[in-house]
Structure 1
Amino acid sequence: MAEYLSPGVYVEEFDSGAAPLEGASTSTAGFIGLAQRGEIEGLPQLVTSVADFHRIFGSYLSENAFGDYRFLSYAVEHFFLNGGARAFVMRVAPSDAKLANNQSASNKESSILNIQSKNPGAWGNQVRIAVVPSSKAKTQIYEILGDAEQSKQYRVKNNAGFNVGDVVAFEANGEKQYNKIVSSQDNIIELETPLEGGEAVIDQNLLPAKVLTTSEFTMHVFYGDEAETFERMSLNVSAANHIEKVMARSNIVKVQDISGGGSGAVAPFEVISGQEETAGKYQIALSGGSDGSVANLSASDFMGQDRGPGKRTGIQAFIDNDFVSIMAVPGVTDPNVQLALVAHCENLGSRFAVLDIPRDKTKVTDVMTHRNIFDSQYAAMYNPWLQVFDPLDKRNIYIPPSGSMVGIYARSDNTRGVHKAPANEVVRGVVGLDCQYNKGEQDILNPQGVNLIRQFAGQGIRVWGARTCSSNGLWKYINVRRLFIFLEESIRNGTNWVVFEPNDEQLWARVQRTIDAFLTRVWRDGALTGSSPGEAFYINIGRSTMTQDDIDNGRLICVIGVAPVKPAEFVIFRITQKTREE
Structure 2
Amino acid sequence: MAEYLSPGVYVEEFESGSKPLEGVSTSTAGFIGLAQRGPVEGLPQLVTSPADFQRQFGGYLSESAFGSYRYLAYSVDQFFANGGSRCFVMRVAPSDAKAASNEGRGAEALSIVAKNPGAWGSLVKVVVTPASKAKTQIYEANGTRYRVKSTNGFYAGDVVTFTSGGDTQWNRIVSVQDGVIELAEELDGDVVDAALLPTKLLATSEFDLIVAFGDEVEQFDKVSLNPEAPSYVDKVAARSNLVQVQSLIVSEGAVAPFEAVTGVAEGKLEFVLGGGSDGTVGSIAASDFMGEDRGPGRRTGIQAFIDNDVVSIMAVPGVTDANVQLALVAHCENLGSRFAVLDIPREKTKVADVLTHRDLFDSSYAALYNPWLSVFDPLDKRNIFVPPSGTIAGIYSRSDTSRGVQKAPANEVLRGVVGLDVQYNKGEQDILNPKGVNLIRSFPGQGIRVWGARTVSSNPLWKYINVRRLFIFLEESIKTGTNWVVFEPNNEQLWARVQRTIDAFLTRVWRDGALMGTSAAEGFYIDIGRSTMTQDDIDNGRLICVIGVAPVKPAEFVIFRITQKTGSE
Q: Same fold (TM over 0.5)?
A: yes
Amino acid at match of 2:237: M
Q: Does 1:134 align with 2:134?
A: no
Q: How far apart are residue 256 of structure 1 and its match? A: 1.5
Counterpart-to-counterpart distance in 2, 1:178 and 1:576:
105
Task: Give, in whole Å, the separation in 1 of the partners of 2:110 and 2:252.
Answer: 13
Letter in 1 for 2:156: V
One-letter code aligned to 1:378 = Y
Deviation at 1:570, TM superposition (A): 0.7
Per the alignment, residue 81 of structure 2 pairs with 81
Alignment of 1:107-186 (within 5 A): 107=105, 109-145=106-142, 151-186=143-178
Q: Which runs of 5+ in 1 are unaligned?
A: 146-150
1:216-271, CA deviations, whole angstroms, 9 ceiling, x for partnerless residues? 11111011111001111100122221111111110100012111x12521111111
Letter in 1 for 2:175: S
Of 485, 490, 493 in structure 2, the residue corresponding to residue 503 of structure 1 is 490
Query: What does residue range 385-404 of structure 1 map to in structure 2 within 5 Å?
Result: 385-404=372-391
> Which residue number corresponds to residue 243 of structure 1?
233
1:264 counterpart (253, 262, 268): 253
Q: Bigger CA drift: 223-232 or 512-521?
A: 223-232
What is the distance in 2 between the residues matched to 1:327 and 1:171? Answer: 64
Q: Which amino acid in the other structure matches residue 268 of structure 1? A: P
Q: 1:434 corresponds to which residue?
A: 421
Task: Report the 3-state secondary structure (helix = DSSP H, G, I; strand = E; otherwise coil) of the residue aligned with 1:110.
Answer: coil
Q: Write the letter of the residue equivalent to 1:70.
A: R
Counterpart amino acid of residue 493 in structure 1: T
Amino acid at match of 1:131: V
Q: Deviations over 1:369-416 (max 9, x none)?
A: 100100000000000000000000111000000000001000000110
User: Once structures 1 and 2 are overlaid, which stretch shifts more, 304-313 or 513-522?
Assistant: 304-313
Match in the other structure for 1:227: 217
Letter in 1 for 2:430: D
Write out aligned runs for 1:92-491 (5 A). Answer: 92-104=92-104, 107=105, 109-145=106-142, 151-197=143-189, 199=190, 201-259=191-249, 261-262=250-251, 264-277=253-266, 279=267, 281-491=268-478
Q: Which residue of 2 aligns with 1:60?
A: 60
Residue 159 of structure 2 aligns to which amino acid in structure 1? Answer: V
Residue 16 of structure 1: CA displacement? 2.2
Q: What's the counterpart of residue 49 of structure 1?
A: 49
**How many Å separate the matches in 2 of 1:460 and 1:205?**
84
Give the superposed CA RMSD: 0.9
Bigger mean CA deviation after superposition, 491-500 or 571-580: 571-580
Q: Could you tell me which amino acid in structure 2 is paired with residue 553 of structure 1?
A: N
CA contact (8 A) 1:32 1:90 kept: yes
Report SS of the residue matched to 2:239. Answer: coil
Q: Tell me by how many angstroms 1:56 deviates.
A: 0.7
> Any conservation in 2 of the 1:142–1:203 contact (CA below 8 Å)?
yes
Aligned to 1:148: none
Q: Which amino acid aligns with 2:45?
A: Q
Q: Which amino acid aligns with 1:361?
A: K
Separation in 2 of the partners of 1:122 and 1:444?
46
Residues 100 and 290 in structure 1, CA contact (< 8 A), matched pair in contact too = yes
Separation in 2, partners of 1:54, 1:174: 52
- The Cα of 1:573 is off from its aligned counterpart by 1.3
Contact 1:80–1:407, Cα closer than 8 Å, also in 2: yes
CA distance in 2, matches of 1:493, 1:427: 33
- The residue type equivalent to 1:282 in the other structure is L
SS at match of 1:90: strand
Whole-angstrom CA distance in 1 between matches of 2:301 and 2:164: 59
Instruction: Give the 3-state SS of the residue equivalent to 1:535 in structure 2.
Output: helix
Tell me the residue number matched to 1:18.
Answer: 18
d(CA) in 2 for partners of 1:220 and 1:306? Answer: 35
Partner of residue 553 from structure 2, selected from 554, 566, 569: 566
Tell me which amino acid in the other structure corresponds to 1:559: V
Paired residues in the alignment total 569
Report the 3-state secondary structure (helix = DSSP H, G, I; strand = E; otherwise coil) of the residue aligned with 1:429: coil
Distance 1:497 1:355 in 2: 36
| 1:520 has 2:504 as partner | no
Deviation above 6 Å: which 4+ runs of structure 1?
none
Offset from partner CA, 1:167-195 (integer Å, 9 cap, x none): 11112224422111011111111111111
Q: After alignment, is 516-525 or 238-247 more displaced?
A: 238-247
Match of 2:157, SS state, is: coil
Q: Which residue of 1 aligns with 2:521?
A: 534
Aligned equivalents of 1:223 and 1:478: distance in 2?
A: 44
Give the deviation of 1:5 after TM superposition: 0.9
For residue 200 of structure 2, what is the amino acid of its counterpart?
A: K
Point out the more displaced range, 130-139 or 434-443.
130-139
CA contact (8 A) 1:328 1:402 kept: yes
Cα separation, 1, equivalents of 2:4 and 2:10:
8
Asked whether the equivalents of residues 263 and 271 of structure 1 are also in contact (C-alpha less than 8 Å), the reply is no
Measure the CA separation in 2 of the matches of 1:298 and 1:225. Answer: 34
The answer as to whether partners of 1:327 and 1:351 remain within 8 angstroms in 2 is yes
Q: Which amino acid aligns with 2:234?
A: E
Match for 2:286: what amino acid?
A
| Matched residue type, 1:42 | G
Instruction: Give me the whole-angstrom Cα distance separating, in 1, the residues matched to 2:341 and 2:491.
Output: 43
Q: Amino acid of the residue matched to residue 144 of structure 1? A: A
